[in-house]
Amino acid sequence: MTDGVEVQCVKGIILHGGAGIRLRPLTHTGPKQLIPVANKPISQYVLESLREADVRDIAIVLGDIHPEKVREYYGDGSGFGVKISYISQGEPLGIAHAVGLCREFVGDQSFVVHLGDDLIKGGVKKYAQEFVDSDYDGMVLLCRVKEPHRFGVAEFDTSGKLVRLIEKPKEPPSAYALSGVYFFKPIIFDMIDKLKPSWRSELEITEAIQLLLENGKSLGHRFVDGWWKDTGTPENILESNRLVLDELKSEILGVVEDDASIQGRVYVGAGTVVKHGAVIRGPASIGKDSIVEANVYIGPYTSMGNHVIIKRGEIENSIIMDNCQIEIDNKITDSLIGPCSEIIENNNHKPRGHRLVIGERSKITL
């Protein structure tokens, strides 16, 4: 039940593949969808969004970049209140190819496809309800973007009806891009069967949806309220971190010593110690069992993971993943620091600040 209204059971598909080239070196050691935003993997936001929409039977389509880490994190889904099946895609051959692999999982039910590295403010609950209440064969979510040529783009006629979808057009017919959420009935599999690989050697979901239109099927669309983020670059991940932290609620579960300063909205996890003289200025999120030493400054829009030790330095607008250690005399800003990394400063060199994207188990001496 959702708000007293019964929701028709639909299945969910989370696409967890892709090469993550723009996020290397972070994606050399794990899939991009497990990169944390505000101390939670990106794809966990997706899974929780589906769960809130009463979608409890979910398939995760795995790529070829450490799929075992995805299985290890999510397991059978019981720890997240859902049931998870795993389907292997391996080499990235396109969204439509990944969806096509789920035909047996879907059966004769309606379903929602959600890219595992896309975030939508407020989730998909209301859109899922609208889809199951409709007679659409498919429904897409559209969002106005600054660079539509980077996405699948919608074209409308003079009455505002959606008439065409074009993948990465050189001259976009509108500023409205397809977000990474799609609602379908099983008829979409017949359209996928007709596809041929694009110039990218992929089966394009935009072409499959276009075939729905050309075959007289009913396609609905909705405009996304609020923001939508494709987290495919370090800059977009940091922006997503800022957007999520903007909605953070303060909670102190760890220990904040006397004379430490907590300013604004800050989350401090259980077992974490913020020592005297340290300053944490929110919005900021600190994971569990971490240590912020005396006189360290953690500035706005910073997320620190679990088991992190910050001995010296200043950090702003950055994501520090689990099991890192930082000991510097200057500032780190606008950075992604992969798990199990160590950054130690050479005191003979005094730059004003550092901007870094560091993969797992890196060791940097500055």
Residue 131: give the domain boundaries. Answer: 11-245
The stretch 97-117 carries a mean pLDDT of: 93
| pLDDT of 41 strictly over 60 | yes
Q: Do 87 and 229 share a domain, yes or no?
A: yes
Q: Which tens digits make up the pLDDT trace of 331-363?
A: 889 988 888 888 887 665 555 566 666 566 565
Q: Do 226 and 266 share a domain, yes or no?
A: no
| pLDDT of 157 strictly over 50 | yes
Q: Do 64 and 202 share a domain, yes or no?
A: yes
| Cross-strand bridge partners of residue 222 | 141
Among 200, 226, 245, give the residue marking a domain's end. Answer: 245
Q: Do 58 and 138 share a domain, yes or no?
A: yes
Q: Which tens digits make up the pLDDT trace of 126-138?
A: 899 999 888 999 9
Among 245, 277, 308, give the residue marking a domain's end. Answer: 245
- 5 confidence band (pLDDT: 50, 70, 90): very low
Euclidean distance between CA atoms 161 and 179, whole angstroms: 18
Euclidean distance between CA atoms 39 and 16, whole angstroms: 19
DSSP structure class, residue 93 = -
What pLDDT is stored for residue 228 in this prediction?
86
What pLDDT is stored for residue 354 in this prediction?
61
| pLDDT of 182 strictly over 60 | yes
What pLDDT is stored for residue 159 in this prediction?
83
CATH number of the domain within which 23 lies: 3.90.550.10
- 1 confidence band (pLDDT: 50, 70, 90): very low
Comparing 25 with 331, which gets the higher pLDDT? Answer: 331
| pLDDT of 224 strictly over 70 | yes
| pLDDT of 264 strictly over 70 | yes
Q: Do 272 and 311 share a domain, yes or no?
A: yes
C-beta neighbour count of 365 within 10 angstroms: 9
HSE-up (13 A, CA, CB side) for residue 132:
19
The stretch 280-301 carries a mean pLDDT of: 95
Q: Do 210 and 258 share a domain, yes or no?
A: no
- Tokens of residue 162, six digits: 């959606």
Among 230, 245, 260, give the residue marking a domain's end. Answer: 245
Q: Which tens digits make up the pLDDT trace of 135-148?
A: 999 999 998 888 88
In-domain check, residue 338: yes
What pLDDT is stored for residue 47 in this prediction?
96
C-beta neighbour count of 249 within 10 angstroms: 8
| pLDDT of 6 strictly over 50 | no
What pLDDT is stored for residue 229 in this prediction?
81
Euclidean distance between CA atoms 75 and 58, whole angstroms: 12
51-90 exposure pattern, b = at least 16 Cβ within 10 A, e = fewer:
bebbbbbbbbbbbebbbebbeebbeebeebebebbebebe
Judge whether 39 and 160 are in contact, CB under 8 Å: no
- 2 confidence band (pLDDT: 50, 70, 90): very low
- Tokens of residue 194, six digits: 């007709």
Q: Do 211 and 302 share a domain, yes or no?
A: no
Number of domains into which the chain is organized: 2
Comparing 28 with 58, which gets the higher pLDDT? Answer: 58
Query: Please, what is the average pLDDT of the chain?
Result: 87
The stretch 229-234 carries a mean pLDDT of: 80
Q: Do 237 and 269 share a domain, yes or no?
A: no
In-domain check, residue 4: no
**% of the chain with per-residue pLDDT over 90:** 54
Judge whether 16 and 32 are in contact, CB under 8 Å: no
What pLDDT is stored for residue 162 in this prediction?
86
In-domain check, residue 171: yes
Comparing 5 with 196, which gets the higher pLDDT? Answer: 196
